[in-house]
Structure 1
Amino acid sequence: MSPRRRTDPAAGRTAVAAWTQGEAERRAVTTAVRFTLEELADRAPGNSVEVRVPPAGAVQAVAGPRHTRGTPPNVVETDPDTWLGLATGVVAWADAVADGRVHASGERSDISHLLPLTVERRAVPGRSGDPRPPEARG
């Protein structure tokens, strides 16, 4: 069963597009984060990994053992810009983990196979990470 959506999909896509264009205000960034977290939970239903993007939101996703009390054993935590970069393909999971922008703990916390959430991959002015292969960067 997929989670109940709280963010209108049209509003979520609009907010993600605004972030991608570098034009999102704080409220739009929060909407984009919540929308993409809901999208992750919809595509990978479950309760074995908690993905946290403070202060915008958190979601439990990925099938596996259910966590019910205390600190979850599988946690992914990052900031809003890094999360949106991962969700849109602008930031690579391995790079974000390696440079400390993503903190992932637990044996199920590698969610790289679920990202990006969008099909389109493009560089965003002012955002870190270039999704193009090195030979295409010129």
Structure 2
Amino acid sequence: MEQALDALDRGVEPERPVLRDAVRALLAELSRRAPGRSVEVRIPPFGAIQCVPGPRHTRGTPPNVVETDPVTWVLIATERVSWANALSDGRLRASGIRTDLTEYLPLYPPRSAE
């Protein structure tokens, strides 16, 4: 994670394996903090999870979807870019009533188990 953040803080994109690992670690932390299956978070091409308590979705297109690119995900998850700014400038797409994940942010550094 530190390598990815160091690169982003310098204004360069992290190497692909470093970025992949950072995305997956942040998705795992979100899954731990917000267990459930009512929101699908997609960070192509590196991962997707279902999280957030609420009604479970099982078929077709989920009603609550968050999607962004890997760099934006790392920036949002570490609060280097705000959720609102990423949403307003189109880097983040969130559809559905349960998709505001700001209460779970920042995801890094991880909090101790509650």
- Give the TM-score, by structure 2 length: 0.88
1: CA distance, partners of 2:18 / 2:109: 21
| Two-structure CA RMSD over aligned residues (Å) | 1.4
Q: Write the letter of the residue equivalent to 2:84.
A: A
2:14 is equivalent to residue 17 of structure 1: no
Q: Which of 80, 84, 96 is the equivalent residue of 1:94?
A: 84
Deviations 1:115-137 (A, max 9, x none): 111259xxxxxxxxxxxxxxxxx
- The percent of aligned pairs where both chains have the same amino acid is 56
Spell out the pairing of 1:1-138 with structure 2 (5 A cutoff): 16-22=1-7, 24-119=14-109
Deviates most, 76-85 or 110-119 = 110-119
Extract structure 1 runs of 4+ deviating beyond 2 A.
none
2: CA distance, partners of 1:18 / 1:65: 37
Match of 1:100, SS? coil
Task: Report how far residue 99 of structure 1 moved.
Answer: 0.2
Q: Write the letter of the residue equivalent to 2:2.
A: A
Segments of structure 2 that go 5 or more residues without pairing to the other structure are none
Deviations 1:18-49 (A, max 9, x none): 11100731011001101110110011100000
Higher relative contact order (CA 8 A, sep 6+): 2
Aligned residue pairs total: 105
2: CA distance, partners of 1:81 / 1:64: 28
Q: Write the letter of the residue equivalent to 1:74.
A: N
- Give the TM-score, by structure 1 length: 0.73
Task: Report how far residue 89 of structure 1 moved.
Answer: 1.2
Q: Write the letter of the residue equivalent to 2:4.
A: W
Deviates most, 51-60 or 109-118 = 109-118
Task: Report how far residue 55 of structure 1 moved.
Answer: 0.4
Task: Report how far residue 57 of structure 1 moved.
Answer: 0.4
